[in-house]
Structure 1
Amino acid sequence: MNVHNSLISKYFPAIALLLLLFWQTPALSRSNPCISDNCVIINGGGENSMTRETARQDREEWNAQRDLRNKINKRKEKRFEEYENDIDNEDACLKNFNLNAYWEPKTKRCLDVNTGRPINPK
């Protein structure tokens, strides 16, 4: 039994290498079936009237949706600018030297503690 174990341990790497080579050879030959000159290209690269028509329809749809995309982008920019202005106003209110000023998060305004009137923090 010891002799069999030593033979297996000696020849195992060679057997594994041969097994991998025999396994990969058919896979590599299937990856490029056009090795010789007998390859036939069907459809001339994929250009036909149907692909051109679908491409034209896709362009029309893309152009038709351009206005909608622009409106959505403008709305997102407007919301971002409002959010950015609110953050800037809050920072200005909190850094204000007026001790009676505080930031009201619900109304997003800088108010006076005593009167409740808006303060312009600058």
Structure 2
Amino acid sequence: MKITLSKRLGLTAMLALAAVMYTASGTVYAETSKLVIESGDSAQSRQNAAMDKEQWDDTRSLRQKVNKRAEKEWDKADVAFDAEDKCQQSSNVNAYWEPNTLRCLDRRTGRAITP
């Protein structure tokens, strides 16, 4: 069987074309099998974010109560500090500061006094 030059070039061209088409179809298949999410989030991350927000909202009232309580305790300590200072600087010699009750008391009667 004798193959001429033109037939050989034709066969070579067909094989090259077949190889290119095979490679191209493989590349297209590989590209279409991928799912690209440009924003970087997924349904799972959105669900986690929604659950975190719900948890945050649910604990909001508790956080507010804790903050109010802490503020109330701080205010109480601040007022007691000022009252202790006034009691110790009082001109009344019978006045003394009671640290357990946070009051200024009279030594003779034990009653609270206002310095």
* TM-score bracket, shorter-length normalisation: 0.5 to 0.7
Instruction: Name the counterpart of 1:18.
Output: none
Letter of the 1:67 partner, please give it.
Answer: S
After TM superposition, list the pairs within 5 Å mapping 1:95-114 onto structure 2. Answer: 95-114=89-108
1:58 aligns with 2:56: no
Q: Per-residue CA shift, 1:3-43, capped at 9, x if unaligned? A: xxxxxxxxxxxxxxxxxxxxxxxxxxxxxxxxxxxxxx954
Instruction: Name the counterpart of 1:89.
Output: 83
Unaligned residue ranges in structure 2 (runs of 5+):
1-34
Instruction: Name the counterpart of 2:28.
Output: none
Structure 2: how far apart are the matches of 1:107 and 1:61? 40
Percent of aligned pairs sharing the same letter:
44
Runs of 4+ with deviation above 3 angstroms: none
Instruction: Name the counterpart of 1:119.
Output: 113
Any idea what SS the aligned residue of 2:104 has? Answer: strand
Q: What's the offset of the Cα at 1:61?
A: 0.9
* Bigger CA radius of gyration: 2
Letter of the 1:87 partner, please give it.
Answer: F
Report how many residues are paired: 82
Tell me the C-alpha RMSD between the 2 structures: 1.9
